[in-house]
Amino acid sequence: MTEPELQRQDDPEEDTRPFVAPCHSLTSDAPWRWLKQGFQDYRRAPTISILYGFFFAVASWIITYWAWKVGSFTMVIVLFAGFVFLGPALAMGLYSVGCQLDQKLPPRLGYCLQQGGKRFGNQMIFAFVLLIVFLIWARAASMVHIFIPMEAGSDLSSLLTFVAIGSAIGSVFALVIFCAGAFSLPMIMDRDVDAITAMITSFHAVLANKRVMLTWGLIILGAILAGFLTGFAAFLLTLPVIGYASWRGYRETIISDDWPQDPDTR
C-alpha cells in the first residue's frame, strides 16, 4: 500500500469535505448586528481590547511622525494602505479573544499567543499572499507617480487627478484583499483548515452576499477614516470593535462543520 493511500485511510473524512465551506445568505442588517456584538465583546474584554487599540494607535503615530520628519506624504498613504491590506492579519489576536468569549473563558493574552502559534503556518501563507498583493500595489502606485508626477507647484486639478487614479487602482487591490480576508483568518483560527481553502471560502461568501458585504466594507473603511481624523485616538475603540465584529460575522456566515475544531476552542 502506497503512502498516499495510508494517509487517506488515516483521515477518511478529508476526501468528503467540500472544496469550499458553504455559507448562509445574510440579511441587510447583518453588518450592524456584528458591530453591536463587537462592541459588546469590547466591553466584556476591556483590558485586552484597549491594549490592542493602543498598539495600533502608537504604531500609527510613530509612522506618521517618521513620514513628517522625512517630508513624505506618500508614507501617510502607505500607512492607510497598510491598515487595509494588513488589517485582517493584525486582528488575529482579537479573533482569539472572541473565541475565548464564546467559550465563556476569561480572555487571556497568553491564550491568544498559544492559538496563534498553532496556526502559524497558515498565517504565514496568508501573510505571504498579502505581501505579494501589497508589493504589486506598491509597484502600481509608483507607476501612477511616474506617469502623473506630483511636484511642489502642482495645481488642484493635477492633485485631484492623481488622487482619483491612485484611489481607483488601490481600490482594486483592496477589494481583492477584502474578499480574501473577510472570513479566512477567523476560519483559520477556529478550524483546522488550510489557508487556501479558507481564502477561497471567504471569496465565495463575499460574492454570495455582495450587497451586505459592501456595507460591511464601507463600515470598516469608515472606522479607519475615523482613526485618521481623530489623530488615531479613535483606534482605541474602532479597530478592536471591528476585529470582534469580524469574528461575529464569520460565526454567522460560514458553515465550517466539515473541518475539525481545535480541542482547546470547543
The predicted pLDDT at position 203 comes to: 94
Cell numbers 475603540 correspond to: 237
CA distance 86 to 76: 15
Please give the Cα distance from 166 to 25 (Å, whole number).
34
The whole-angstrom separation of Cα 85 and Cα 178 is 8
Task: Tell whether the model's pLDDT for residue 97 goes beyond 80.
Answer: yes
How far apart are the C-alpha atoms of 191 and 119, rounded to whole Å? 9
Mean pLDDT, the chain, rounded, equals 79
Given a cut of 60, whether residue 257 has pLDDT beyond it is yes
What confidence score (pLDDT) does residue 96 get? 86
Residue 108's pLDDT band (cuts 50, 70, 90) = confident
Give 34's pLDDT tier (boundaries 50, 70, 90). Answer: very high
C-alpha grid cell, residue 245: 465584529
Query: What is the reported pLDDT for 4?
Result: 45
Q: Tens digit of pLDDT for each residue in 111-169? A: 776 666 667 677 777 777 777 777 777 676 666 665 555 554 456 666 666 667 766 77
For residue 260, pLDDT over 80 is answered with yes
Residue holding cell 492607510? Answer: 80
Tell me how far apart the alpha carbons of residues 35 and 237 are, in angstroms, rounded to a whole number: 12
Residue 80 has pLDDT above 80, yes or no: no
Q: Is 22 within 8 Å of 201 (Cβ atoms)?
A: no
**CA separation for the pair 11, 15 (Å, rounded):** 8
Instruction: Tell me which DSSP letter residue 129 carries.
Output: H
Q: Residue 152 has which C-alpha cell?
A: 511642489
Lowest mean pLDDT among 143-147, 180-184, 246-250: 143-147
Mean pLDDT (whole number) for 192-199? 89
Percentage of residues in the chain with pLDDT exceeding 90?
32
49, 38 contact by CB (below 8 A): no
Residues 49-62, mean pLDDT to the nearest whole number: 87
